[in-house]
Structure 1
Amino acid sequence: MTFGAVPWDISAAQPIVVAAEQAGRFSGAVLDAGCGLGDNAIYLAERGYQVTGVDGAPTAVEWAAKRAAAQGATVEFAVADATSLAGYDGRFDSVLDSALYDVLDADHRARYLTALHRVSRPGAKLTLACFSDQLPTDLPGVYRITEQIIRDELGAAGWTITGLRRDSYLVNEYAGEFFRQEKIDVVTDERGRVALPAWAVEAERG
C-alpha cells in the first residue's frame, strides 16, 4: 500500500480533536503525544493552552515547528520517545493522543500509557483517538484496536475511562484516491478525505 503523502496529514486539526476542545477536554499544560506535523498542537496553542508536542521523528518535529512559526503559534516541540517521556514527570494537566496508540504493539502501548500517567498531574484528562477494529482494510503499521484492548490497557496503567465511543478519523485525499482505486468502500468528504472508523476515548488519571 503506497500513498502520495503521509495519510494523516490533513493540514488542519483533526475534527475529533476540535470537538474535544469544544467540549472542554483540555486545560492548562497540554501534552500532544506523537504530534506529527503539529496541526493539533497548533490548534490548541491558538486557543490559549500551553502546549508541548513530542514525536519520535526528528523530521516531523522540524516541520511542526515550521508550521507553528508560520502561523504565529507558540508550541514547545521536542523529539522524544513517547514510551518513556523522560524529563516530563508530573508536568501536564491534559494529554492528547491523536492516532499514536494504534501504531504501537501491546508491549509498547503498556509502556506508553504508563509514561503518560507518570507525566500527568492527578486528575489530568486524557483524550485519545485511535483507529478501530472496524477498519475496512489493513493500514501499514496500524493495529486494529478493540474496545476490550482499550479498557484493559488503560485500566492497567491507572487511567479511568469516562467516555468511549465510535467515531471517525480523517486521512487525506491521497489516501482517499488509493481507497477508490482499490474499490474499498469508504466515506469521503468534499475534498476527497476519508473518514475511517476510530475510537474516541476520554479518561482521567487516577
Structure 2
Amino acid sequence: MSLVRRITQLLVGLVLYGVSMALMIESGLGLNPWDVFHQGLSEVTGISFGWIVLLVGIPVLLLWIPLRQRPGVGTVANLVIIGFSADAALAVLPAGHTIAARIGLLVGGILLNGFATGLYIGSRMGPGPRDGLMTGLAGRFPRLSIRVIRTGIELLVLGVGVLLGGTVGVGTIAYALAIGPLVHLFLPRLTVRDSGRVPNTGAVPAH
C-alpha cells in the first residue's frame, strides 16, 4: 500500500506542479529562475513551454553521468509529466487581464507549487533532473555549499532567461521568498515515512 501511495502522490504532485507553473505564467507577473529560462527559450524557438521544460531536462539529466548521480522513477516522471501538464493547463487557463486576477493567479500558483513540491518530493521516488544536478555538483565540489551552488545555477539560468525574453517581475521575488517556507510547511506533512524517518526540509527544489 505504501508503494501505491508513493506512486500516486508522485504523479499527482508532478501534475499539480505543472499546473502551478501555468498559473504563474498566465499571471504575467514573473516566474522562478528556471521558468524564466524555459519561457525565454520558448519565445525564441517557438516550441511550447512544456516541451521546452522536457527538452532542457534531457541535457541536464545527462550531466548526472559525470557527477555519478542515479535517477529514480520520480526523475523520469518529473522529466515528462511536468512539461505536458503545464502545456495542458496553459491551453485551458485564461490569462489574467485585471491586476486582481493576475495577483490571484500568481498567489495561487506559488501556493500550489509549494504543495505540489511537498507531494512529489515526499513520495521519495527520486529527485528531478535540476535538483539532481545541484546535489551532484555539491557532492563533486564539497567545499561549496548547496546554497552557493543553487544560487549560482539559478543566477545563470535567470540571466540567460532574461536575455531570451523570459518574464521577470514581482512574482520572481515573491516565489524566492515564499517557496522555502511553503516547502518547509508541506514537506514534513506529506512525506511517506519509513520507520519514523524525518524528512530534510533544507533544500528547495528546482524541479
Query: When you count strand as a share of all residues, which structure comes out higher?
Result: 1
TM-score by length of 2: 0.33
Structure with larger RCO (C-alpha < 8 A, sep 6+): 2
TM-score by length of 1: 0.34
Query: When you count helix as a share of all residues, which structure comes out higher?
Result: 2
